Structure 1
């Protein structure tokens, strides 16, 4: 069972990102604040849920949260500042947009750039431990998937409708055959020897 809060004294926001390991598309991040006594039995790490279940949970999260926000950082900025910094920036942007100010942050993963001197805790696999991080993972994932689905209509050969920009064999082969689009991250290289690794 996922826990509602890491600590009990301060209003807590959970943060997570989606799309860090992709060849194409922005990185998305979300921040979610739930009431302290909040619980939902189906909330879990987005990677453990079906696409249908994620989409069912998204409006529930948006309805029940005290505040939530979803933001993104472009492939061009990812190339300029690197994917780690872009992920942290996307989280900061999401926190900026919250309509309720958090007092404590819990971050999925093992690293974070401090935000406005707020206390925070990094939690490895936090999306499988805390409701607000799980909810943030679902929002970031579903909004990013929708974005990539729209892009795929313009660039169908890269199969983004299925792979969402992740480096599948079909996606990497398409990059080698057709080249990169403006939506690809130029700092990720694709080569033929790489194809044999997957």
Structure 2
């Protein structure tokens, strides 16, 4: 399906309106998975012409995504990853876990961003970062698209490594997201140490339901910021 390539329009706007010269694009992967971390990538790209075919990672097949990620690693000005573990997701709630992963990525960058473009409509990052949220930013903004591809390839690689240790769950194929094989393995073997135990899938598994952890209340989540 044809798609419009991402541009630097948002980055140029931030430079013009805020004076920010170092702008990071931020995107996450793994939010809806049942197992594995949530992974955030922060990427700084400058205003150079992006690699051919760069777009939202979800629009790319695995082979093409890996090819573009390989190109991006040497093309971007800087990039870094942050992760929140399943235990952190269970204890903190997803919003706070996303923020934790994003801060870890941003603070690991070898340059300090003066502004951040965050994919989506919700600013889960907040102060002290200067944030511009962009719906479908992973399709329209070069830096966010780069972060999207790099995050997806990195997390898929991590899940493939976990899959080698937990074969019945086929993490190499489903990356921790629900699939028929994943569901069947859960019913038979129960959750691994890499599963999120506050997720509702445990409600449908009477044999393992006792392992479920309570979700963090919204008030508790707010106190974490």
TM normalised by structure 2 equals 0.81
Q: Gaps spanning 5+ residues in structure 2: where?
A: 206-225
Shift of 1:115: 5.0
Shift of 1:20: 0.6
Shift of 1:49: 0.4
2:219 equivalent in structure 1: none
Cα distance in 1 for partners of 2:11, 2:29 equals 25
2:17 is equivalent to residue 6 of structure 1: no
Q: Which deviates further from its counterpart, 134-143 or 111-120?
A: 111-120
Cα distance in 2 for partners of 1:160, 1:81 equals 24
Cα distance in 1 for partners of 2:52, 2:87 equals 39
Shift of 1:5: 4.2
Figure out how many residues of one structure are paired with residues of the other and give that number: 193
Aligned residue among 23, 26, 40 for 2:37 = 26
Q: Does the Cα contact within 8 Å between 1:88 and 1:112 map onto a contact in 2?
A: no
Shift of 1:40: 2.5
2:61 equivalent in structure 1: 50
Cα distance in 2 for partners of 1:7, 1:144 equals 26
Q: Gaps spanning 5+ residues in structure 1: where?
A: 193-198
Shift of 1:71: 1.9
Q: SS state of the match for residue 68, structure 1?
A: strand
TM normalised by structure 1 equals 0.92
Which is higher, the Rg of structure 1 or of structure 2? 2
Q: Which deviates further from its counterpart, 82-91 or 122-131?
A: 82-91
Runs of 4+ in 1 over 3 A off after TM superposition: 113-116
Please tell me the root mean square deviation across aligned C-alpha atoms, in Å.
1.6
2:214 equivalent in structure 1: none
**What are the within-5 Å matches in structure 2 for residues 128-147 of structure 1?**
128-147=139-158
Q: Which has the higher contact order (CA 8 A, sep 6+)?
A: 1
Cα distance in 2 for partners of 1:180, 1:89 equals 24
Flag the structure with higher helix content: 2
1:178 equivalent in structure 2: 189
Shift of 1:57: 1.1
2:116 is equivalent to residue 105 of structure 1: yes
Shift of 1:189: 2.8
